[in-house]
Every structure is written in structure tokens, then in C-alpha cells.
Amino acid sequence: MNTPCPLLPEIGARLTAADARAVNPAAAGGAYLFRLRYAQSKWGEGLPAQALLQLNRALAVPLQGGEAELTEFPLPYGAVAWILSERPDRRGQFLANPRRHWQHYATRMAGPMAELRTWRAWACHAIAARVLPEAEFPADADQIAGEGLTIPGEEEVEAQLVALGLPGEAELWRAALAR
């Protein structure tokens, strides 16, 4: 349905939840590459919101930074920006509100690598804030007011990605912001 995202791996066939269950989570590089392929599959099916969820999962894989998969397919900030800039909602595909999604995701993070995953969510939120018009894709003002939430600025996100992320991660994110 959609033209493949050039920043994600090509796939030969549609991937399914059964394929996801067969992935060995202990093989971090393989799990990461699978999530990127699954995102491509969901994107191709015309399911952009689900593609973005798979990119969230790719960003949650515990990578060390030296995996061969990262050389060929760096962390998917560029793919996030590309999918958002394609604006599939204009073709009747469900995109939801990515800005709101990442705001909620960042503020409710738990589990392994929670701090890094929180900052990666804020990084994706910043991409959405740059790419998507606020009038159509607003932040959750009720959460901001009710919880006294301050959305971190790009400088803070960058500093946290430098401190917590993989080598070169902040630069990848900055390049995606500049798309």
C-alpha cells in the first residue's frame, strides 16, 4: 500500500505477530533488525501508527553500539521523521497523534533501560513537534497542566542522548530533526 521507507530494511514478505514471537530477544542485533523490518511491514500495509510502535520497540532493544546491524541501519530517528513527514493520515491511514503518544510514553516509562528509553521518547516527541503541525497534532495540555509537566527542550534532549545513549546517537537525532 505504501512505498517502502528508504531508511528501513527491505522485506520480502509481510511480517506478523507470530514472526515477532519467534525472535530471540537475547540476540539484541537480530531483535533490533527484526523490529525495523516489522516497522517496514506495518508501514507497507498502511498502518503507520503500528510502524511507529515497532520503531519504539527497536529503540528499546538493549544494544551496545558495536552491533553490525547498527552500521547498516542506525537508530531509527531518521525513519521516524520520514514516516511523519509522509503524513499518511492524509491518505486515510491511522497515524493517531504521535506527539501526544511520545509525551505519554516518556512520562510513564518503566522497565529495563527506562531512563534512556524516556529520553529516546522525548527525542521522538521533538521530531514530531518539528514535523507535524501543532494545530492538528497538539501536545496533551491536560497532562501538562495536571501533572505540572515541562516538555524538555531540544538542548536537554540532546544532552541526555549524549550522556545516556550510544556513541553518535545525538548526532543521528539532530540529523533527523534537520530533515
Residue 163, all three cell numbers: 550522556
In angstroms, the CA 56 to CA 50 distance is 10
Give residue-wise pLDDT tens across range 61-110: 999 999 999 999 999 999 999 999 998 766 789 899 999 999 999 999 99
Cβ contacts of residue 52 below 8 Å, gap of 6+? Answer: 39, 80, 83, 98, 101
Task: Sketch the domain layout of the chain as residue ranges.
Answer: 17-177
Residue 87, all three cell numbers: 503524513
Q: What is the mean pLDDT of residues 145-173?
A: 98
Please, are residues 48 and 90 in contact by the beta-carbon 8 Å criterion? no
Whether residue 170 is predicted with pLDDT greater than 70 in this model: the reply is yes
> CB 168: neighbour CB atoms within 10 A?
14
Alpha helices in 109-168 (DSSP H): 114-131, 141-147, 154-164
In angstroms, the CA 67 to CA 76 distance is 14
Give residue-wise pLDDT tens across range 22-55: 888 778 999 999 999 999 999 999 999 999 999 9
Give residue-wise pLDDT tens across range 149-161: 999 999 999 999 9
Please, are residues 78 and 179 in contact by the beta-carbon 8 Å criterion? yes
In angstroms, the CA 133 to CA 164 distance is 29
